[in-house]
Amino acid sequence: MLQTTFTQKYDEMVLVKDIGFDSICEHHLLPFMGKAHVAYLPNGKIVGLSKLARAVELLSRRPQVQERMTEELAEVLMHELDARGVGVVLEATHTCMTIRGIRKPNSRPGR
């Protein structure tokens, strides 16, 4: 997924915030959409910033739950970059909460 990496000694956190995404809740088959905030601590390997957004885009295309998408993004970064650490936060509006059931339009779970 993060095929092109570069060898680079860099010991600061790399962060891309507010990466927009849309997905489908596998429980209700209703959309959820939001923003991903993705960070990693390099371990001698970096990737172009657009590749982080591409990883969010690719993982968001299938039916799922927000928790799994968060975990999968973190695993991809750890595995493919051999990162010293990662942080992934997804903030999303779930239409299963806003248009049916509890009907709380301003709620945004973060994972």
- Over residues 37-78, the pLDDT tens digits come to 999 999 999 999 999 999 999 999 999 999 999 999 999 999
Q: Is residue 101 pLDDT above 70, yes or no?
A: no
The Cα–Cα gap between 85 and 98 comes to 34
pLDDT-based confidence at residue 102 (cuts at 50, 70, 90) = low
Q: Which residues are catalytic?
A: 25-28, 66, 94, 96
Distance CA 12, CA 102 (A): 42
And the tokens for 109? 């779970």
pLDDT value for 8: 82
C-alpha closest to that of 60 among 36, 95, 88: 36
Tell me: pLDDT of 19 over 80. Answer: yes
Q: Which tops the pLDDT comparison, 76 or 3?
A: 76
